[in-house]
Structure formats: C-alpha cells, structure tokens
C-alpha cells in the first residue's frame, strides 16, 4: 500500500534518479523538501558514479543504474 505522506526510501530515490519513480511517489517528492534534498544528493552521487571510468566491485548501486542504461547492441556474435 502506498501512503503519499511517507518519505521516499533509498530505493525510491534511486528510481527517481533513473526517471522510474511512480507518479504517486513523485507527488510526495514534489511536496516534500526533505525528500527533494535527499533526492538531489543521491542524483549527484549517481552522476559521479556513472562518470567514473571504472566501478568498484561493491558498487551494486552503480550496477543497478547502469542496468537501466540501454546500449544498442549491434547484431554481432559477441556471445560466441
Ligand atoms: Zn518526504
């Protein structure tokens, strides 16, 4: 169940940073300066992570972000 007055979780802030946050939760974000501050801080972290030339092995957060990035794959035999 979704309570609009609930603050965003870290997971939801990650979704927001990826543009995947459900509208109901985005409405809370629009109203809540606390969550907006937190979200902007998270987004900066993400932007810094994706700009790193390589990721630390423990950066599951960055992996999840990168998993959302759809890279067009040429129909090559990269799996052979
Ligand atoms: Zn909030």
- pLDDT, tens only, 48-73: 888 877 655 555 667 777 777 766 66
CA–centroid distance, residue 71 to ligand 1 (Å): 33
Residue 36 burial by CB count (10 A; 0-12/13-18/19+): exposed, middle or buried?
A: middle
CA–centroid distance, residue 53 to ligand 1 (Å): 33
Radius of gyration from C-alpha coordinates of the chain: 16
Helices (H), the chain: 10-17, 23-31, 33-51, 60-67
* Alpha carbon distance 22, 49 (integer Å): 24
CA–centroid distance, residue 55 to ligand 1 (Å): 30
Mean pLDDT of the chain, nearest integer: 81
CA–centroid distance, residue 13 to ligand 1 (Å): 10
pTM (2 d.p.) = 0.56
Structure tokens at 71: 């890279």
CA–centroid distance, residue 30 to ligand 1 (Å): 9
- 8-state DSSP, 25: H
């Amino acid at each position: 169940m979704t309570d609009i007055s609930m603050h965003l979780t870290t997971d939801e802030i990650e979704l927001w940073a990826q543009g995947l946050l459900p509208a109901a939760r985005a409405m809370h974000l629009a109203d809540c300066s606390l969550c907006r501050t937190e979200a902007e801080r998270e987004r900066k972290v993400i932007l810094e992570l994706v700009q790193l030339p390589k990721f630390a092995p423990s950066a599951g957060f960055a992996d999840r972000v990168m998993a959302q990035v759809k890279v067009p794959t040429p129909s090559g035999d990269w799996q052979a």
